[in-house]
Amino acid sequence: MKKHAVLILLCAALGSGLLAGCGSSAGSSTSTSSSGSSASAEAATGTSTEAAGETLGDANIDTTTFLKFADDNPNIVDPQCTSDYYTIPMNCFDRLLEVKVNDDGTSEIVPSLAKSYEVSDDGLTYTFHLNEGVKYSNGADLTSSDVLYTFNRLLTYPKAVNNDIAEGIKGADQVENGEASSLEDVGGFTTIDDLDFSITLSQPNASFLAQLTVPGASILDEDTTEAAGDQFGIDPSVTIGTGPFIFSSWTFNSELILTANKNCWSGAPACDGLDIKVVPDEETQRMMFENGELDILDLDNTPSQADYFLGSDKYKDEIIEGPRVGIYYISLNEDIEPMGNVEVRKAMQESLDRQSILDALYGGRGQLENGILPHGLVGYNENLPEIPYDVEDAKKLLADAGYANGFDLELDVSSDDSQTSQDLMQIVASMWGEIGINCTINTMDDATLQDTKHAGELSCYSSSWSADYNDPDNFMYTFFGDAANAKFRSLNYKNTDAMARVTAARAITDPDKRIAEYQDLEKTIIQDDAAWVPLFSKEHLYVVSPAVSGFKVSWNGWSNNYYHNVSVTR
């Protein structure tokens, strides 16, 4: 297909900033990857970190032999209170179950803190058996009481953003609204003994086990966490888990240090510790990597440096890649006219040259998506028809809808968005302009954007969603499970029958029937109803020093990775 002429002109006008996304740290602030609320971690927690340079924990740790990499600047590392920053939760805590990536690239749910489990015939009750001898890094024993505390806290802690992990448990609503003090009081949790317990759901949910693998489901030490109060997830000395690393030091806006938990129940980690640098500037990260100050460079967080490394013979053998199991999309708010008209929404889909956008912004490193479920996710439908790029048909659709002369549209952008994300909306505005949609880009601060989005009042914005757990529910229900979810994303989808089916699909216990239902719903929601504009998914690329062994991209392509088996030679 002939390359989009307007895109070529826009690329020339924006220059290297468009092609490489310079001047930004880590992607769109409206981009989320959480099974819970998509509000940014900062807005959700209401907690502000201390002044830059102030250190909590041990400030005198020798990190010479530690694995070093750059990461985002967190606001809090409490697993229940962040939907963005999971490096600490994934490496300092454990879950009842984990995801294991097989040699062929597939993934499966495997035992972790829970050595085994059984599911009742009706799919409601899950009985778990904890491993014996598991201790937190402070020496306390893991017991069933800690698991009960973890799920109660998810429902009652005011700053929790991952509470939906527990909301399917029987009686969760009563605990959440204060009518009951514990899930054990309302039949949702039964303590058998110190190592055995059962969780009962209010209705069958085939994705429940997968949800238990997400960072937000990390198991907490009841005594330490309760005593820590608001300092849990802030002060390393009271942020205690069972994982292979110990959160030891936090110099705000500068550095986080994790030391090896050599007595970890699952085995000591392969390296002495992790030295996590907060380095917003992309070029500085590149220079630090080349100088040996960083061992791993995440090209998702340094898009302006990607071409430098990918085009260099020196680094060609140091590139490690994995798919990002997630989707970039553009929301369409059906409450804002004329986007309530399906022909208008289809015209908006067909008038975007999505391949040219992917080529311009990310060097073509990814694949187009045509629905809700991205490549790599269980249930991905390779037979879903491709949404065509057809400007003339898009114009006809607009004319048939009564908008032959087009209409005015506001595109909403966060001031915290990366340059690449802002450039994307500039390209979209230009392409929609070709069919008569006169776009005005409205930039607002991120807190305002999130509040407006969750109120269902954002007009049109771009974002992404990456898998927390490998199940269609993580995408389908999150966006289209009910009217409240659709409003929370400013989609305001109107097909109540489809939303009811999405909710009902959670209880289908036959895997084949459940996937077939999701795939049929996906076609209805995106292809027939054009509820959003699917764009693409990306490849996640890292540059990894030859001194590093054992590094693998997380199964879902997150920038947060597990480092238990990663070693570095100095």
Which among 248, 163, 245, 150 has a CA at the least distance from the CA of 199? 150
Same domain, 459 and 375: yes
Same domain, 369 and 499: yes
Domain presence at residue 31:
no
Q: Give the domain-ending residue among 226, 247, 274.
A: 226
Give the residue with greater pLDDT, 386 vs 30.
386
Domain presence at residue 570:
no
Same domain, 191 and 332: no
Domain presence at residue 290:
no
- Confidence at 483, pLDDT banded by 50, 70, 90: very high
- Segment 148-164, tens digit of pLDDT: 999 999 999 999 999 99
Residue 19, pLDDT score: 32
Task: Inform me whether the pLDDT recorded for 46 exceeds 70.
Answer: no
| DSSP-based helix, strand, coil % in the chain, nearest 5 | 30, 20, 45
Asked if residue 361 lies in contact with residue 398, where contact means CB atoms within 8 angstroms, the answer is no
Same domain, 110 and 9: no
Cis check for the bond before 534: say yes or no (omega within 30 of 0). Answer: no
Domain presence at residue 43:
no
Q: What is the CA radius of gyration of the chain?
A: 24
Task: Inform me whether the pLDDT recorded for 21 exceeds 80.
Answer: no
Classify 192 as helix, strand or coil. Answer: strand
Residue 30, pLDDT score: 37
Distance, in Å, from the CA atom of 328 to the CA atom of 374, rounded to the nearest integer, reads: 9
Same domain, 133 and 19: no
Domain presence at residue 397:
yes
Residue ranges of the alpha helices (H) in 351-440?
354-362, 391-400, 419-433
Which among 568, 569, 564 has a CA at the least distance from the CA of 260? 564
Domain harbouring 214, CATH code: 3.90.76.10
Kindly list the distances between the CA atom of residue 156 and the CA atoms of 76, 142, 198, 203, 470, in Å, as whole numbers in the listed order: 18, 21, 20, 21, 27
Classify the C-alpha dihedral 537-109-44-332 as positive or negative: positive
Same domain, 132 and 17: no
Asked if residue 126 lies in contact with residue 209, where contact means CB atoms within 8 angstroms, the answer is yes
User: Which DSSP helix (H) or strand (E) runs through 504?
Assistant: helix 496-505
Same domain, 212 and 345: no
Same domain, 501 and 368: yes
Which among 362, 556, 561 has a CA at the least distance from the CA of 471? 556
Indicate the number of domains in the chain.
2
- Segment 140-149, tens digit of pLDDT: 999 999 999 9
pTM above the 0.75 mark?
yes
- Segment 214-269, tens digit of pLDDT: 999 999 999 999 999 999 999 999 999 999 999 999 999 999 999 999 999 999 99
Domain presence at residue 425:
yes
Asked if residue 529 lies in contact with residue 348, where contact means CB atoms within 8 angstroms, the answer is no
Same domain, 376 and 523: yes
Distance, in Å, from the CA atom of 99 to the CA atom of 474, rounded to the nearest integer, reads: 15
Share of the chain above pLDDT 90, in %: 82
By DSSP bridging, strand 462-466 and strand 326-331 are antiparallel
Whose structure tokens read 């030859």?
546
Can you give the residue range of the structural domain that contains 534?
A: 5-25+327-538
- Segment 180-220, tens digit of pLDDT: 999 999 999 999 999 999 999 999 999 999 999 999 999 99
Task: Inform me whether the pLDDT recorded for 33 exceeds 60.
Answer: no
Domain presence at residue 403:
yes
- Segment 308-332, tens digit of pLDDT: 999 999 999 999 999 899 999 999 9
Which amino acid belongs to residue 94? Answer: D
Asked if residue 524 lies in contact with residue 372, where contact means CB atoms within 8 angstroms, the answer is no
Distance, in Å, from the CA atom of 536 to the CA atom of 328, rounded to the nearest integer, reads: 5
Domain harbouring 472, CATH code: 3.10.105.10
Same domain, 374 and 502: yes
The count of other CB atoms within 10 Å of the CB of residue 382 is 6
- Segment 485-517, tens digit of pLDDT: 999 999 999 999 999 999 999 999 899 999 999
Residue 7, pLDDT score: 52
Residue 18, pLDDT score: 34
- Segment 48-91, tens digit of pLDDT: 456 778 999 998 999 999 999 999 889 999 999 998 899 999 99
User: Which DSSP helix (H) or strand (E) runs through 543?
Assistant: strand 536-544
Q: Which two tokens stand for residue 564?
A: 């238990």
- Confidence at 417, pLDDT banded by 50, 70, 90: confident
Q: Give the domain-ending residue among 211, 226, 241.
A: 226
* Chain mean pLDDT for the chain: 90
Q: Which two tokens stand for residue 309?
A: 């490394």
Classify the C-alpha dihedral 436-454-212-269 as positive or negative: positive
Mean pLDDT of 22-40: 34
Give the residue with greater pLDDT, 415 vs 14.
415
Mean pLDDT of 35-39: 34
Task: Inform me whether the pLDDT recorded for 127 exceeds 80.
Answer: yes
Same domain, 509 and 408: yes
Distance, in Å, from the CA atom of 165 to the CA atom of 83, rounded to the nearest integer, reads: 12
Domain presence at residue 555:
no
